Amino acid sequence: MITKIERRIKIKYRVRNKVSGTAARPRMSVFRSNKQIYVQIINDEEAKTLVAASSLGFEKCSKCEQAAKVGELVAKKAIEAGITSVVFDRNGYLYHGRVKEVAEAARKAGLKF
């Protein structure tokens, strides 16, 4: 029987076979734990993280609100670094809830997917 984590990892590898970040269009990877959410913008050609943001140190609010703030924060940092277009990597998670909040907030802040 496949556990929940093994299932997510299988989906993650399936997605990662199709999605990769370049210098022109880096990959925006989302990781969510039970309490926090982390976002990185990665250039896979050089295996280098260009921009990162997380919900660590935010004031108390709901997880979806934290995710939206992280999306805005990573978009601002990316635009300051000269990145306007990214490829979204949901990292095996379903596109709803906190993952969707991150993506929508980043789009509102000016990133193009």
Q: For residue 17, tell me if it sits in a domain.
A: yes
Domain interval for residue 96 = 4-108
Please give the full DSSP string across 4-57, using - where no structure is assigned.
HHHHHHHHHHHHHHH----SSS-EEEEEE-SS-EEEEEEETTTTEEEEEEE-TT
Query: What CATH number should be reported for the domain holding residue 8?
Result: 3.30.420.100
Q: Does some domain include residue 31?
A: yes
Task: Look at the chain and report how many structural domains it folds into.
Answer: 1
Is residue 73 included in any domain, yes or no?
A: yes
Residues 16-41: tens digit of each pLDDT: 888 888 888 999 999 999 999 999 99
pLDDT band of residue 58 (cuts 50, 70, 90) is confident
Convert the pLDDT of each residue in 79-95 to its tens digit. 999 999 999 999 989 99
Q: Does a structural domain hold residue 113?
A: no
The pTM score is: 0.88
Task: Tell me if 20 is assigned to some domain.
Answer: yes
